[in-house]
Amino acid sequence: MTPQLPPTDHRPAAYHGPTREETLALRQTYLTPGLLTYYREPLMIVEGHMQYVYDERGTRYLDAFAGIVTVSVGHCHPKVVEKVRAQHGALQHVTTIYLHPTIGELGKALVDKLPAGVDKVYFTNSGSEANEAAILAAREFTGSTDVVALRNCYHGGTSLPMSLTAHGNWRFPSNPALNVHHAHAGYCYRCPYNLSYPSCDLRCAHDIEETLAYQTSGQVACFIAEPIQGVGGVVVPPKEYFQVVYDAVRRHGGLCIADEVQGGFGRTGEHYWSHEHWGVVPDIVTMAKGLGNGAPIGAMAARAEVSATLARKVYFNTFGGNPVSVTQGLATLEVIEEEGVQAHAARVGAALKEGLESLADKYPVIGEVRGLGLMLGVELVECRTSKRPATQLAADVVERCKAKGLLIGKGGLWGQTLRIKPPMCLSLDDAQFIIDCLDETLAETPVTT
């Protein structure tokens, strides 16, 4: 029996705009061809409500990818919509050359959640811009230009973050990668040394010492990493990994940057920030996506003395701290607190992960289930012994899930990992629907090599 979406009281409005075919034609005619779409027949979404989205025909889908890990408290959450609508009616734009109360209120709300000492916030429009600001501040503060990132990482699509990113599919050959070096990530399932944790003695983490010795002057500006790699396929490192790496970087004069663009704001359940799982305290934290529940907003938070380096010149962002965006950000943080969203993500995420692990016992194509809270990944392989990535299978699963009303993502260097990162309002019934959809889909989808 085909899994059925849990019932909902929401009824989408009748859609009277351009057809899907007209919309696709406009896009193909006037927009850059670099804009990729999921699915053989691209999905057109015209309405969203909490964890669900609707196409132009009113067909409902469970958005288990949260608009690429962006919708944290739900599509068009009533409180967020109310606050933003009021701000739109009062003031849509003013820059930071003038005063506006909400930008400071959001800054305080973030600092109240950040590690002690990380207490100055710079607002941007995206995670890419936030990471640009973080690297600039670190280089200015230390006087070094060398930056260390991790293999399998993703930090954005503008020039410098593209250099930080260690995925060939996301990098252009003409983009310079000056003084950016990549150490091994804590990717135990695909250990480059063919070792096993914990008997490996954290060989991957100690690789940072070789990177610093062979590829830098010995003095570095910073180390930047996602505490849990997102685009790379929800890679969760050994718990001591970042402690070893942070210690090495600081002995070489560098700052430590936690990229919380995907892992922040309670998504990983037990902690508000994903770096907290590893017992480390960064000097700089970058964020975006879930901060605005869909609004174009990002931020770089740093220690005061580090942040002060950006005052040496004019470092201005026209739309950073825009009244509408920061209003949506503040409303989102309020909902996370008022509705116990973090604890909910921990509870539902644990049930969902348990169900996914039960599928791994049933289907050999599941190499590993990993993640925390509602940041989960299912790596598919053609063979558990060789661990050959099941790239085509992953694409087929994503396609077939859509036909059942489930939207999920995929990631990893070979596109082999299913990414399940829904809005954090996901219910237990929704979680069971995800499990049932994947169960049926894996049962009916052949492995092609």
The tens-digit pLDDT sequence of the chain (449 residues) is 789 999 999 999 999 999 999 999 999 999 999 898 999 999 999 999 999 999 999 999 999 999 999 999 999 999 999 999 999 999 999 999 999 999 999 999 999 999 999 999 999 999 999 999 999 999 999 999 999 999 999 999 999 999 999 998 889 988 887 899 999 999 999 999 999 999 999 999 999 999 999 999 999 999 999 999 999 999 999 999 999 999 999 999 999 999 999 999 999 999 999 999 999 999 999 999 999 999 999 999 999 999 999 999 999 999 999 999 999 999 999 999 999 999 999 999 999 999 999 999 999 999 999 999 999 999 999 999 999 999 999 999 999 999 999 999 999 999 999 999 999 999 999 999 999 999 999 999 776 65
In the prediction, which pLDDT does 446 show? 75
* 242 sits in which H/E element: helix 241-251
Among 281, 307, 338, residue at a domain's last position: 338
Residues 6+ apart with CB under 8 A from 298: 123, 124, 125, 126, 127, 128, 129, 130, 261, 286, 287, 288, 291
| Residue 375 to residue 47: CA distance in whole angstroms | 24
| Residue for token pair 């392989």 | 381
- Half-sphere exposure of residue 183: CA atoms within 13 angstroms, side-chain side: 30
Assigned domain for 421 exists: yes
Q: Which of 436, 407, 430 is nearest to 64 (CA)?
A: 407
Residues 325 and 353 in one domain: no
Residues 170 and 253 in one domain: yes
pLDDT, tens only, 1-52: 789 999 999 999 999 999 999 999 999 999 999 898 999 999 999 999 999 9
Q: How far is CA 190 from the centre of its chain?
A: 21
User: The sheet that has 147-150: what strands, in order across it?
Assistant: 118-124, 298-303, 284-287, 255-259, 222-225, 147-150, 180-183
Residues 366 and 289 in one domain: no
Assigned domain for 7 exists: no
Domain that includes residue 418, residue range: 20-69+340-444
* Six-digit token string for 213: 């010795």
User: Structurally, how many domains does the chain consist of?
Assistant: 2
In the prediction, which pLDDT does 176 show? 80
| Residue 435 to residue 377: CA distance in whole angstroms | 13
Calculate the CA dihedral of residues 235, 446, 391, 28 and round it to 10 degrees.
-120
Calculate the CA dihedral of residues 21, 23, 25, 26 and round it to 10 degrees.
160
In the prediction, which pLDDT does 257 show? 99
In the prediction, which pLDDT does 211 show? 96
CATH code at 424?
3.90.1150.10
Bridge-based pairing state of the strands 222-225 and 255-259: parallel
Residues 214 and 197 in one domain: yes
Q: How far is CA 261 from the centre of its chain?
A: 5
CATH code at 163?
3.40.640.10
Residues 212 and 358 in one domain: no
* Six-digit token string for 234: 């929800």
Assigned domain for 38 exists: yes
Contact 258, 286 (CB under 8 A): yes
Assigned domain for 9 exists: no
pLDDT, tens only, 163-197: 999 998 889 988 887 899 999 999 999 999 999 99
Among 338, 354, 378, residue at a domain's last position: 338
In the prediction, which pLDDT does 449 show? 53
